[in-house]
Amino acid sequence: MSRHQPDGGVKLTAAEIAALDEKWACCWSPAEVARRLEGVATPWYVAAGWALDLFRGAQTRKHGDVEIAIPAADFPEVRDRFPGYVFDAVGDGRIWEDAAPDALAATHQTWVRDANTGGYLLDVFREPHDGRTWICRHAETVRLPYSEIILRTPDGIPFLAPELVLLFKAKHVRAKDQRDFDESVPYLTSAQRRRLAELVAHVYPEHQWLKGL
């Protein structure tokens, strides 16, 4: 991902940001996303809060959207599964509608939009990687094989391992992130808990969560 912000794009106003919840109101479920991506060769997974709910086997709170992550180089394969939809790149409070290659190269987040309704259906993270080795976007020294980081529900929906979801949430620790941590840690295996502690200590050595791990 380039650090240079491309030309174009629109800065979202406070009112437009406030209206995003309504635009995401009809987003797909993880099961619907899995149905649409069935058979793709690239490794992909449900990320963020939904991933923790899939890990625990039940929806525990309302989610504003559904997020998946894919290797950045494989974005065309995923995009081709959604003909008729528009992919908008977003970053730093800006949006590039029907994003051109330069906007995609400068961002990591892509919103799938229904051009007829204007509603958003799916949030696609285009993540750094080295072949089939996943690279943590927040700490490039954290590298793991995709085969180790993707778990599956009994019906086959892939999701990011919970300790890695929590590593991402450790960056900002919003109220929902703290709640996700408090409610998910008791379900972690000893190995998952140990890896979470090691990763948080590596990326955020003074983090408040370390005392609880």
Output the pLDDT for position 3. Answer: 52
Output the pLDDT for position 212. Answer: 85
Contact 134, 146 (CB under 8 A): yes
Output the pLDDT for position 4. Answer: 65
Task: Using the Cα atoms of residue 94, residue 99, residue 103 and residue 104 in order, give the sign of their dihedral.
Answer: positive
Output the pLDDT for position 66. Answer: 97
Contact 167, 197 (CB under 8 A): no
Task: Give the integer Cα–Cα distance in Å for 140 and 85.
Answer: 32
Kindly give the confidence (pLDDT) of every residue in the chain, 213 residues in length, as a single tens digit, with 9 standing for 90 and above: 445 677 778 898 999 888 999 999 999 999 999 999 999 999 999 999 999 999 999 999 999 999 999 999 999 999 999 999 999 999 988 999 999 999 999 999 999 999 999 999 999 999 999 999 999 999 999 999 999 999 999 999 999 999 999 999 999 999 999 999 999 999 999 999 999 999 999 999 999 999 988
Residue type, 87: F
Residue type, 182: D
Tokens of 82: 């959604």
Most distant pair of Cα atoms in the chain: their distance: 49
Tokens of 171: 């960056």
Sorted by sequence, the CB contacts under 8 Å of residue 133 that are 6+ apart come out as 143, 144, 145, 146
Per-residue DSSP letters for 167-187? HHHTTT--HHHHHHHHHHGGG
Q: Helices (H) and strands (E) in the chain — how many of each?
A: 10, 12
Per-residue DSSP letters for 23-43? HTTTPPPHHHHHHHTTT-SS-
CA atoms within 13 A on the CB side of 77: 15
Place of tokens 């620790």: 173
Based on its alpha-carbon atoms, the radius of gyration of the chain, rounded to whole angstroms, reads 17
